[in-house]
């Protein structure tokens, strides 16, 4: 099969933000660009950490690459595991300005859109596979209210009537970053790359998700 005919998986990472010089979400996704999983070609794109522009670029990437699956990845400093996000909510509430200086507070992402969208990915099956591989992973019940949730919500809104599956994964600081944040947990970029490969493979192979407890009390 020629590479143009191959089905595409779109994988996105973000630019650095919040005084960091790197973003492990881009370091990990970039490393998978051009690789193949289950006969699908991975295309990696970097998104800006900007409300509005991030989503515009994501929609352009979807239009250009015509993926069957979209996985967006972002950094969540302070978390210890790969966080498989369950839900995106229709609100922007920024603790810090984005990379273009915008700091929306309590604004809707899509005017009069649904309050939330659930991921379309089989996060329980992905969780089980990651644990089997010894990679720290969890189901997360919130992707926050910053640019990552913005992109996740906008992704699910854009895909709402399409046969493309989409979802979001947050990852911890890299060890290099965590060194500047005393006490913060870290996960090597190599481990994240391995984890993303597993997550994508399971997402491509799993239709109906597994029934497996991974909830939280708070």
Taking CB under 6 A as the criterion, which residues in 69-128 touch ligand PCA? 74-76
49 touches ligand PCA (CB under 6 A): yes
Taking CB under 6 A as the criterion, which residues in 1-20 touch ligand PCA? 14, 17
Residue 13 is classified by DSSP as E
Residue 40 designated active-site: no
Which of 81, 91, 2 lies closest to 41, judged by CA?
Answer: 2
Q: Choose, from 20, 50, 85, 138, the residue flagged as catalytic.
A: 85
Minimum gap (Å) between residue 5 Cβ and ligand PCA: 32
Residue 79 is classified by DSSP as -
User: Could you give the CA distance from residue 49 to residue 146 in angstroms, rounded to a whole number?
Assistant: 9
Residues 66 and 8: beta-carbon distance below 8 Å: yes
Residues 147 and 212: beta-carbon distance below 8 Å: no
User: Could you give the CA distance from residue 210 to residue 213 in angstroms, rounded to a whole number?
Assistant: 9
Q: Of 10, 11, 92, 146, which one interacts with ligand PCA (CB under 6 A)?
A: 146
Minimum gap (Å) between residue 20 Cβ and ligand PCA: 9
Minimum gap (Å) between residue 167 Cβ and ligand PCA: 14
Residue 157 designated active-site: no
147 touches ligand PCA (CB under 6 A): yes
172 touches ligand PCA (CB under 6 A): no
User: Could you give the CA distance from residue 46 to residue 18 in angstroms, rounded to a whole number?
Assistant: 16
Number of residues that bind ligand PCA (CB under 6 A): 12
Q: Which is nearer to ligand PCA, 36 or 95 (CB)?
A: 95
3-state secondary structure 27-41: HHHHHHCCCEECCEE
Give the binding site for ligand PCA (CB under 6 A): 14, 17, 23, 25, 49, 74-76, 144, 146-148
């Amino acid at each position: 099969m020629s590479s143009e005919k191959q089905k595409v998986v779109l994988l996105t990472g973000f630019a650095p933000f919040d005084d960091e010089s790197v973003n492990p979400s881009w370091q990990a996704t970039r490393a998978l660009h051009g690789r193949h999983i289950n006969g699908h070609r991975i295309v990696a794109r970097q998104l800006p950490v900007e409300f509005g522009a991030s989503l515009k670029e994501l929609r352009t990437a979807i239009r250009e690459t015509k993926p069957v699956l979209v996985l967006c990845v972002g950094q969540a400093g302070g978390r210890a595991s790969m966080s498989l996000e369950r839900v995106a909510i229709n609100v922007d509430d920024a603790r810090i300005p984005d990379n273009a200086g915008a700091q929306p507070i309590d604004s809707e992402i899509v005017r009069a859109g649904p309050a939330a969208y659930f991921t379309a990915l089989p996060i329980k099956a992905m969780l089980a596979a990651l644990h089997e591989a010894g990679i720290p992973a969890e189901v997360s019940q919130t992707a926050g209210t910053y640019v990552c949730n913005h992109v996740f919500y906008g992704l699910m809104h854009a895909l709402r009537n399409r046969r493309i599956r989409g979802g979001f994964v947050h990852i911890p600081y890299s060890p290099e970053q965590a060194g500047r944040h005393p006490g913060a947990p870290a996960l090597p970029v190599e481990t994240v790359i391995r984890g993303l490969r597993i997550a994508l493979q399971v997402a491509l192979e799993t239709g109906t998700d597994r029934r497996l407890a991974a909830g939280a009390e708070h």
